Structure 1
Amino acid sequence: MSTIGPESVELSQDDLKSLVAAELERTRRRSAALTDAVDDDDLVEQHSPLMSPLVWDLAHVGSQEELWLVRDVGGRPALRPDIDDLYDAFQHSRCDRPELPLLGPRESREYIATVRDKAQDVLHHVSLEGRRLVDQAFAFGMIVQHEQQHDETMLATHQLRRGDPVLHAPDPPPTARAPSSHEEVLVPAGTFTMGTSTEPWALDNERPAHPVHVADFFIDAHPVTNADFFRFIDSGGYREPRWWTEEGWRHREHARLSAPLFWRRDGDTWLRRRFGRIEPVPPEEPVLHVSFHEAQAYANWAGKRLPTEPEWEKAARFDPATGRSMRYPWGDDEPGPERANLGQRHLRPAAVGAYAAGQAPSGARQLIGDVWEWTASDFAPYPGFEAFPYPEYSQVFFGTAQKVLRGGSFGTDPAACRATFRNWDFPIRRQIFAGFRCARTPSREELD
């Protein structure tokens, strides 16, 4: 696997096209694995009103590929203009999609295969320069990332489905040491470069690069663990309104929250359901499937807070030795199995303290992969933001309704994960692979 980065400007057109073709095929293999793992009845079933049937996601990635690569980039005739509305995510909510006259499993597979043949032919003939949409293969990278994002969505749907396990993967590597749950790192005050203007496949909400001054702060050296969260629950954290915001407490009562999603207590043991398996909750793993409201309540209980988005990014990519913001916590090199838990290589987060090779200069670990991390920030544009290539990717979501998540999860592909990548969701969402780490403002004495 080879992701595209700023160094790709040195690639020849042929080499860049070969890289893009490989990324398209690698991504499609993942989509096929996620949909071939179940039968046709399972593909058309809606496993939760929060999610689309798997068959919708499958045809949707083909529809987007047709719109952008075949029609726009390639200037080719429309293949299936009759289904454009069916697979427009803005026209139909997820809960309503099972009632639509969707393509069936066989039709969906035939459709996306036909689209892919056309898209590969477009790639063969098009020049990857001279037009913003195609410069450095941007449109192709956008489609790779779009399909990988839907693959992670389909993985979340697999977690919601009932039945025997159908997905299998080895466990992540063990940690060399179990760090203290109270381990923090101090990130000194100063200005750093947030966002990017050079990453070829960066999406509009990651742009442009701009200076941001951040005051001194402490941030947890690793995500909050299940063991940490056990203590929050046992201390009455879900029963005490004082730890929650008014909005969070209203939701906790309405949804009757008492533990992370997929957890249940069996005597003195917490169990969880994970892709069809019932197992004890591993205390050393980052807590998973918690909402922003739960994360915020825990942080209040712990005497801390959630990091802001600039704090998270500075901790993740700023190198004080060079004064430079890097692509990843470890530098500019691509993610690999020794650095981060990404790409559905494993079907669970790794224990905290793993991936020493992925440590940031700040001293924080596991900032990329394992679990998406809630931040305190609303999803907002950067100064100088420009919607590209369409407002519906980011612009329509800006505002106070969505909270930003950073870092990616074990289900996020490296093509759709970098230290500038921004995810967002409603603060009540729990089916996503989200956890968090805490931050706090130092006292004057701690800085003296």
Structure 2
Amino acid sequence: MTVTTDQLREDVARELDRARRRTRALTDAVDDSELVRQHSPLMSPLVWDLAHVGNQEELWLVREVGGREAVRRDLDELYDAFRHARRERPGLPLLSPDEARRYSTGVRDQALDVLSRARFEGDPLLADGFAFGMVIQHEQQHAETMLATHQLRSGVPALAAGPPPAALVPVAGEVLVPGGPFSMGAEVEPWALDNERPSRVVDVPGFFIDAAPVTNAQYAAFIADGGYGDERWWSPEGWAHRQAADLSAPMHWRGAEGGWSCVQFGREAPLAGDQPVVHVCFYEAEAYATWAGRRLPTEAEWEKAARWDPLTGRSRRYPWGDEAPTARHANLGQRHLSPAPVGAYPAGASPLGAHQLIGDVWEWTSSPFVAYPGFAPFPYREYSEVFFGSRQKVLRGGSFGTDAVACRASFRNWDHPIRRQIFSGFRCARDARPDEVR
């Protein structure tokens, strides 16, 4: 369906507003002393994120697209994520919370005026509203980062949300993904980012993948079997990190005589065994998979399981089709503050029967974050290119904290394999034997 210029303007304005309302909700939930404090050396003070999203909006929408004078050029270096490591940011002369709010509001007023005059054609930065979509996704990505900061803060809980839905169908075991070619990457997605492009045909041998992410109960069995103390299950790098970091359970788990509990956004509760495990690093996921006699899926395997339609042979935008996610399909957008039980979203299953590939938890893959053949950086190298290499592992699928605008089956996330403050989980895969392939 062709979208008119007026409709695209309305869509962009709505998404800009929705992203900003989420940013404000995450920062207004705590007082100024909490906003300026660093809750973990892995994270920025929340007030830094608040001004940073405004600065990116100024750079790309006010100056680059609008061709206007800078609102605050003196802030560019201060809020450049590549100039200052997160651990250094509390010591910078950051804007106060009130100054950051006024700055981001002033930038937004100008950005909306630029939007009202924009012609979405010609310049690749403007085609289909790409620059606006990039800025919207950037702010929603920082909202998820700020949500992770809230998970790391101590004190009285600041956020609240209703519980996730209960399981509607039983989901267990694995599903076969037949071997053969499929189209991987973004082809016609207008707001796809540079690392999703270009699309290409990839031939993937037949394999099995878990019908659902690994659950807390399944992961607890690994711990009970001595998984953290048995070097056999860990890669050399993983074992070294497990020892150095003294890992013994997922982040935020607490041991007790009556069983495990976990802390979610300041509230401790018994561990929900049927929810996907979250806050595990790549090495923990890899060790579990080895213990279970399996492995992590490659990035191509994950995407084929999520997108490939065996009836048509085409790649869908999402496991369920091309329709944008709704509350029926996936646990996205911070509607809840935890993953949902396995089986809670049967409407979001893939044609092959894999559930909850989108939402709930980011899923580690075994693949390094590298460029697709024919990659071209756009519109700036620092979005993807500078991160390419073997030191970063790809995660797929989004989490309960990921907004739908920044999540699709071709979307690629990445992080260091030791990271687990992110909302990360996983599912396992294995090669299909010749006698198992139809």
TM-score (norm 2): 0.99
Q: Does 1:88 align with 2:112?
A: no
In 2, Cα distance between equivalents of 1:323 and 1:98:
51
Indicate the residue corresponding to 2:285 in structure 1: 295
Hey, what does 1:121 align to over in structure 2?
Answer: 113
User: Could you say what secondary structure the match of 1:378 adopts?
Assistant: strand
1:205-236 CA distances to partner (integer Å, 9 max, x unpaired)?
00011000000100000000000001000000
Do structure 1's residue 366 and structure 2's residue 366 form an aligned pair? no
Q: CA deviation at 1:446?
A: 2.4
Given the alignment of the two structures, is residue 280 of structure 1 paired with residue 267 of structure 2, yes or no?
Answer: no
Aligned-partner SS, 2:255 = strand
Match of 1:422, as an amino acid? Answer: R
The answer to whether residue 274 in structure 2 is matched with residue 311 in structure 1 is no
Q: Is the 8 A contact 2:307 2:316 kept in 1?
A: yes
1:375 aligns with 2:365: yes
Tell me which residue corresponds to 1:161: 153
Partner residue of 2:250 out of 243, 253, 260: 260
Aligned residues: 438
The 8 Å contact of residues 196 and 412 in structure 2, kept in 1 or not, is answered as yes
Task: Give, in whole Å, the separation in 2 of the partners of 1:393 and 1:249.
Answer: 31
2 CA distance for matches of 1:273 and 1:366? 23
- Equivalent of 1:430 in 410, 420, 434: 420
1:247-286 Cα distance to aligned partner (Å, 9 max, x none): 0000000000000001110113111110010111100000
Superposed displacement of residue 123, structure 1: 0.4
Q: Which residue of 2 aligns with 1:340?
A: 330
Letter in 2 for 1:95: R
The Cα of 1:62 is off from its aligned counterpart by 0.2
What is the one-letter code of the residue matched to 2:321?
Answer: G
Secondary structure of 1:238's partner?
helix
SS at match of 1:373: strand
Partner-residue secondary structure (3-state), 2:382? coil
Deviations 1:140-180, CA, capped at 9 Å, x for gaps: 00000000000000000000000111111111110023433
1:206 alignment partner in structure 2: 196
Identity of aligned residues (%): 64
The equivalent of 2:46 in structure 1 is 54
Distance 2:18 2:278 in 1: 27
Question: C-alpha distance in 2, partners of 1:385/1:415?
Answer: 22
TM superposition outliers: structure 1 runs of 4+ over 2 Å: 177-180, 443-448
- In the TM superposition, what is the alpha-carbon distance from 1:364 to its structure 2 partner? 0.1
Paired with 1:130 and 1:446, the residues of 2 have a C-alpha distance of 51
| 8 Å CA contact 2:169, 2:346 repeated in 1 | no
> Which stretch of the first structure deviates more once superposed, 432-441 or 125-134?
125-134
CA distance in 1, matches of 2:225, 2:156: 35
Separation of aligned partners in 1, 2:317 and 2:436: 30
Give, in whole Å, the separation in 2 of the partners of 1:281 and 1:14: 48
Secondary structure in structure 2 of the residue aligned to 1:71: helix
Confirm or deny: 8 A CA contact 2:319 2:357 kept in the other structure.
yes
For 2:233 and 2:218, locate their aligned partners in 1 and report how far apart those are by CA, in whole Å: 16
Give the letter aligned to residue 404 of structure 2: P
Distance 1:71 1:167 in 2: 35
AA aligned to 2:208 is F
The answer to whether structure 1 residue 248 and structure 2 residue 235 are counterparts is no
- SS of the counterpart of 2:187? coil
Which residue pairs with 2:343 in the alignment? 353
Q: CA deviation at 1:362?
A: 1.6
Q: What letter matches 2:125 in structure 1?
A: L
Aligned to 1:218: 208
| Counterpart in the other structure of 2:185 | 195
Distance 2:3 2:363 in 1: 34
Please show how residues 114-193 of structure 1 align to structure 2 within 5 Å: 114-180=106-172, 183-193=173-183
State the alpha-carbon separation in 2 of the partners of residues 351 and 133 from structure 1: 40
* 3-state SS, counterpart of residue 228 of structure 2: coil
Shift in Å at residue 397 of structure 1? 0.4
Q: Return the letter of the residue paired with 1:261.
A: M
Give the unaligned 5+ runs of structure 2: none
Deviation at 1:442, TM superposition (A): 1.8
| Alpha-carbon distance between aligned partners in 1 of 2:239 and 2:16, rounded to the nearest angstrom | 44
CA contact (8 A) 2:178 2:437 kept: no
Which residue of structure 1 aligns with residue 11 of structure 2? 19
For 1:214 and 1:178, the matched residues in 2 are separated by: 28
**Does residue 447 of structure 1 match 2:433?**
no
Separation in structure 1 between the aligned mates of residue 311 and residue 434 of structure 2, nearest angstrom? 25
Compare 54-63 and 259-268 and name the one that shifted more: 259-268
Which residue identity lines up with residue 90 of structure 1 in the other structure? Answer: F
Displacement of 1:197: 2.3
- Contact 2:307 2:318 survives alignment (8 Å): yes
Structure 1 partner of 2:314: 324
In structure 2, how many angstroms separate the alpha carbons of the residues matched to 1:433 and 1:11? 34
**1:443 positional shift:** 2.2
Residue 387 of structure 1 aligns with which residue? 377
Q: Which residue of 2 aligns with 1:4?
A: none
Residues 101-158 of structure 1: CA deviation (Å, up to 9, x unaligned): 0001000000000000000000011211111001100000000000000000000000
